[in-house]
Chains A and B, each alone.
Chain A
Amino acid sequence: MSIDTATARKVAKLARIRVQEADLPKLAEQLSGILGFMEQLNEVDVTGIEPMVSVTPMGLARRADVVTDGNIQGQILANAPDAREGFFAVPKVVE
């Protein structure tokens, strides 16, 4: 499967990574190379094989549905690039 410039543009958009228009052809070529490498997987007979969900056969642990943490607003916001009045601040989302 070969990736064209339009597909590379779309993937970059989905990944929320800005890629300059001039860099798209090179990116498309690299992604094509990597995906070409993955094509080998088509040689394998996977009939009747379930996709692996967990590498170790164990059930996920459950815990009581109770509050175990909280009242740490200062810690939560300590690393924010922009925090105001106890909230994360972002550019205007709603007009």
Chain B
Amino acid sequence: MNTGAIGVETLHMTMRFGAFTALDDCSIHVKPGSFHALLGENGAGKSTLVKCMMGFYHPTSGEMLVDRKEARIADPKAAHALGLGMVYQHFTLVPSLTAAENLVISREDAPRVIDWHRERIDLQTFMADMPFQVPLDQPVRALAAGEKQKLEILKQLYLGRRFLILDEPTSVLTPDEADEVLGHVRQLCEEGTISVLMITHKFREVTAYADEVSVLRRGKLVGSGKVSGLSHADMAAMMMGDATLASPSPRMETAGAPVLQVQNARMRDRSGLKDIEIADLTVRAGEIVGIAGISGNGQMELMEILTGQRALDSGTIRINGAPYSATRKEAHKARVRFLPEEPLQNACAPRMSVTENIAFRSFDTGGFWLSPSDMRRRAADLVAAFKVKTASLDSPIQSLSGGNVQRAVLARELSGEVDLLVISNPCFGLDFSAVSEIRARIMAARNSNTAVLLMSEDLDEIMELADRVLVMSEGRISYDAPIAQADIATIGHHMGGHA
């Protein structure tokens, strides 16, 4: 088995999906033994790039050099054979097996009958050479997240990988665990055991551990260099692109009374590891408050407490001054409407018809009996008003395109008087014309005095729509400024978890 770090280089790599260019002429060079960070917003092309490198995708054009030799990577197996390995954001270990068992079964040449005595001796020799240890005889489920991530990295070394791609390896770790794991990774790089390409959003990790960085934006490589020569502001500027600030849409002056007030709200996050804490969030009538931030920083949990899918541990939510606990009655009375992200999965019953899906908000206003004729008339009106393209009102809503599902849901949620509209990534995956139309609807709602809370991973969307910009990071609101004073570099800082 060869040992020692290898370098990997991509040359003019381009990846197109249909008409969409996910990766555009991207050349990056990871030198042997270096710790290379890959920065970029969501959808910037980072995962596409590493999937091309690992053979999950075949790039439309471009080449790859592994250890200075041209390499054609047909599939992940070929990548593994060349010594390339990947550690994913989420664990790929078998929880019920021990660390030792996980390591042995991950080997491609694992024998049918395993001689555990010999394997154990081999593993001990292997572990003796490693800079860090993981208990080998405990089931993986008993290990802490940091230990599991160390085991994932050990697994790659055990499999003889000499170039590692780490995909946001610290997203499920506490800050202390993250420091420990990345410290070990850096040590391995310095010893010349591996080279690393790490996808991350966190500038702090880049400065503390990486020696080189490449920045992607909209599929293009927009900057590359030694970490020592770059400030956080430089990286933020590269990531966001300072020339593309979307101009705010025309809007009417409507400063109103507070509609939504969240105070000292505290809840567990999805992983159950960290707390989300919203000290003070106020949305006024006729105002769009945009919450920017990389996904996974508490936006989803905030949406869930507002929609009643997650319980608050402490704190209060008030709407129009009255306490709010997200029952249907309260939502109806306070005229609160929701537009969750991925509407087909989160706001529709996919197999039910367009008519029925449009009736979700209003079907029970008439008492005990359903009124199919009213439902149908209403659906026909809204489908026409919101230009939903559907073969018929009886078609299952899952037969509609993404943009039309979103239009149908928007039609349902924006009909009638709305005091508060809570939106999450409304334009995710939609094409250009649908995007501009849906944004115009949101702006129109604001102009007719609706309070709008807009959570979006697309900073351009927030800059275009919001009156006030907030940044959510590590479960807290770390930045709050009126749009006129919002400064893209500072926002970038806060999004990267570094104030």
Chain A complexes with chain B: no
